A and B are shown apart, each in its own frame.
Chain A
């Protein structure tokens, strides 16, 4: 958040946690309520990583909250295991293992399917806990007699057996939980999770194994839930079966939405509002059963009108007040960027290393497609395409609309499985690999329609791309600072310079102009340091002036790089490429140098023939 003082958030939180017990009681908070807020806040830290950062809305967190809590409580009451903290940690671990197993099923699908599956999961756990496992969980009675923590330090024993000592105990653990969550969010994994939230398909296409990252987020959320569940039993001296109820999941979701998802503090703020109002309505206003109705209405109104919750609103107001200048400045700068002198000025392309990967077969074509076909029902989009590109070549593909150009690219990047045929990349058969694998091997594509991470800044977008190459498909470096990854900064800065977005580095993508987004789209593919770069209509939708700039950009990129470019702008394309392949109705019509293609009768007929018919 703040580069000048990296621990600002931690320090402010620590101060707030120290001050809270002196201030909150004057506002009408009961001590038990304050402790409860901390538990919900801790529970919510993991949930926010799953929902706010990764975009997976789970209604099943009660399953892990209950599992962790019950396991810890059973250890202490049923098995007389005396160590409170160890029990809670074991409970959290068990919740994590259960989360891993549940994740195997729940993460088979995304979006609303994921939400529905997690609802079902929470209900399964509730019934299992209530009935078949009631001998261990106490069924509807729960588990009473959970001991309070005490630590024998030799000279004295620390007891946490009153509301205020319990507050200290919980506040310490909330703080630890927050520190860990902040590290995770600021790690490369955290960056990739945000990318998955914004655009999962592109995150995969940049070489990240998004399924494993989602699974990791799911387990992290389960561990937090299990730990918070264990603390609930310890705080109350009793593990309630209600922890397993769907209402628990629902309350967590609502508190997080009220507080603001994707902020880490949202759940804590939401819990504060929720528990305060529920106390206030019941004890002060004596509303009785209506309190939940009022809270429900408040929640619906908040979702309707305050999209980013309370913390989100505070951030917005803060940025309006102070950071307003920040938002304006880059816009002015971009206006000052000279538009035309791209090609004449520096060519950062030479600074950019082309290939990091060892090429095992230096001789022979970089890419070969053999008899590649794609059938959609009755439609033959690509039919028996044989195609090869040599190292260092810049190839163009043209063809009328519907010729199957984009389908061909999608098969090369493994976004679409071919019906038959084989693809060899650097001599290796990649026909059966996944999207992320292909990118890892060094084959990247820029899309016809921008596929960017809209809520992230330009720099963060490029980081996601570069991380795929620097870290591999999947790596769980949860506690590594993303700023300290060797080579990342250099690679991102080079790409920024290459696509002339250095001045816009800290701007969110949603504020970019179309031409800038288009350049970033190309930059994303470039930042993966591909050995083969596919560009699907890089000039689409550009003004004549932007086209000139982009052609210059592509020329500078093309030096020493292997590229295949699809475009409809033939004048620009012929200027860029050495050879051209013409597709028509899913087949290779002809292949040759731009001059040969221009003179070719079949090509003229393919394009002009259509016009003649229309005219006639």
Chain B
């Protein structure tokens, strides 16, 4: 009945997708944890990363330049977004925060659609990573293997920044209690701006490294955003380990269900989310205070 080679390769796909979701979700979750703002434009950040990388690639033909330029561009967008708009919403009700980020998401998507058209664009993988690698028991696209490595490195880098640097320590302290951090004499607004930039960059980076696998279109961020939400609900808001574990769970669920019927992928995601909500309402790694 089940084709085992196909099954294993889907498990691998799930791993790649899961790592990607983990990266994007950790961006979303550190922003929420620190600033208390759920960024509904996070999917658009993923999309912007893809397009910025595409433009850079178009000019230079270099994958590395595309990745660096795409990430930096989205980080810049994130920094500006926080400084110009989000900052004025900290004292407003959470509904207003959702509305404004939702609106910004639409503006980004429609701006891209205006400049680049609605058709999808693709960025080829860099030369050495084209083709298929035999893994003994199966053949697997080389770039996807590389993608798994790249995203893992990015996650480790984020982990390093969050858990091994002074800035990261302040950010984690800010997730626990931003008021306390600011009363310790640390300019918490500067940290907020930085966190928003880093969080956006995580999504933008994912957007560009994923572009050789799935071609980019203006609305590519929408489904990513939905999957990210499921990841965060499963993992627990504000938790980096939660984002990683939740991402891997969601990635595997989507890939394995898609093997049987893609139409049910979201249903299964929803079932998993419901199970978590019933058994552990604050998510696998979440705590009650972070809502």
Contact = CB atoms under 8 A, between A and B. Distances in A.
B88 to A, nearest CB: 7
Contacts of A479: none
B104 interface: yes
A297 B109 CA distance: 12
B267 A119 contact: no
Interface string B221-235: 011011001101100
Interface string B15-48: 0000000000000000010000010000000000
A127 B107 contact: no
Interface stretch (A107-115, A332-340, A419-427): A107-115
A116 B113 contact: no
Contacts of A254: 99, 102-103
Given A127-B266, A132-B261, A115 B291 contact: no
Contact of B281 (A59, A109, A128, A300): A109
B7 interface: no
A303 B100 contact: yes
A606 interface: no
A296 interface: yes
A51 B237 CA distance: 23
Contacts of B261: 131-132
Given A110-B291, A292-B110, A55 B232 contact: no
Nearest to A290: B114
A112 B291 contact: yes
A315 interface: no
Nearest to A292: B110
A304 B85 contact: yes
A127 B263 CA distance: 6
B100 to A, nearest CB: 5
Contacts of A299: 103, 106
A112 B277 contact: no
B61 interface: no
Contacts of B274: 105
Interface in A102-130: 105, 108-113, 115-117, 119-121, 123-124, 127-128, 130
B94 interface: yes
Given A111-B291, A123-B226, A292-B106, A116 B232 contact: yes
Interface in A250-306: 250, 253-254, 257, 261, 289-290, 292-293, 296-297, 299-300, 303-304
A304 B92 CA distance: 10
Given A289-B113, A300-B104, A121 B270 contact: yes
Nearest to A291: B110
Interface string B83-112: 001001000101110111011101100110
Interface in A298-318: 299-300, 303-304, 307
A246 interface: yes
B99 A257 contact: yes
A131 B263 CA distance: 5
A300 B291 contact: no
A596 B265 CA distance: 71
A292 B98 CA distance: 19
Contacts of A292: 106, 110, 113
Contacts of A300: 85, 100, 103-104, 107
Nearest to B112: A293
Contacts of A563: none
Contacts of B229: 116-117, 119-120
A128 B267 contact: yes
B189 interface: no
A250 to B, nearest CB: 7
B163 interface: no
Given A116-B233, A290-B110, A293-B107, A303 B281 contact: no
B230 A120 contact: yes
Contacts of A55: 95
Contact of B94 (A109, A111, A250, A261): A111
A57 interface: yes
B95 A57 contact: yes
B38 A112 contact: yes
B248 interface: no
Given A117-B273, A300-B103, A130 B114 contact: no
Given A121-B270, A250-B102, A112 B110 contact: no
A108 B233 CA distance: 12
Contacts of B281: 108-109
A296 B107 contact: yes
Contacts of A293: 107, 110-111, 113-114
Contacts of A116: 38, 229-230, 232-233
A234 B241 CA distance: 50
Given A112-B32, A120-B230, A123-B226, A130 B263 contact: yes
Contact of B277 (A105, A124, A250, A290): A105
B278 interface: yes
A203 B289 CA distance: 20
Nearest to B233: A116
B262 interface: yes
Contacts of B222: 246
Nearest to B222: A246
Contacts of B38: 112, 115-116
A252 B64 CA distance: 42
Given A110-B291, A112-B98, A303-B103, A120 B32 contact: no
Contacts of A128: 263-264, 266-267
A246 B267 CA distance: 16
Contact of B226 (A112, A120, A132, A289): A120
A500 B291 CA distance: 37
A292 B108 CA distance: 11
Interface in B190-249: 222-223, 225-226, 229-230, 232-233, 237
Nearest to B36: A112
A493 to B, nearest CB: 32
Given A115-B98, A297-B107, A304-B85, A108 B273 contact: no
B118 interface: yes
7 contacts: A115-B38, A123-B223, A127-B267, A132-B263, A289-B113, A299-B106, A303-B96
Given A124-B266, A131-B264, A300-B85, 15 more contacts: A57-B99, A111-B291, A112-B94, A120-B226, A128-B266, A250-B102, A253-B102, A254-B99, A257-B99, A289-B114, A289-B118, A290-B110, A292-B110, A303-B100, A304-B100
Interface of B: 32, 38, 85, 88, 92, 94-96, 98-100, 102-104, 106-107, 110-111, 113-114, 118, 222-223, 225-226, 229-230, 232-233, 237, 261-267, 269-270, 273-274, 277-278, 281, 291
